[in-house]
Amino acid sequence: MRHYWGIRSIHANMEIRIACKSLGHSQAIHMKTYNSTYEEIDAIKGAKKL
């Protein structure tokens, strides 16, 4: 459930610092854990521009 919340926070465009504080970890851990989700969102945004 916690991991799902982290992914949903990214899809909701929540600020990273707020998501980290809510999950109780650093920005470095957040980016390491959820980097693939950020890359997926970036790819979707890029495709929409085409």
Overall domain count for the chain: 1
Query: Whole-model pTM?
Result: 0.77
Residue-wise pLDDT tens digits, 24-33: 999 999 999 9
Domain that holds residue 32: 2-48
| Inter-residue contact 43 to 16 (CB < 8 Å) | no
* 3-class secondary structure, 12: coil
pLDDT attached to residue 26? 95
Residue-wise pLDDT tens digits, 2-13: 889 999 999 999
Question: And the tokens for 34?
Answer: 């959820």
| Inter-residue contact 47 to 36 (CB < 8 Å) | no
Instruction: Measure the CA angle with vertex 46, ends 44 and 50; round to 5°.
Output: 110
Tell me how far apart the alpha carbons of residues 40 and 28 are, in angstroms, rounded to a whole number: 18
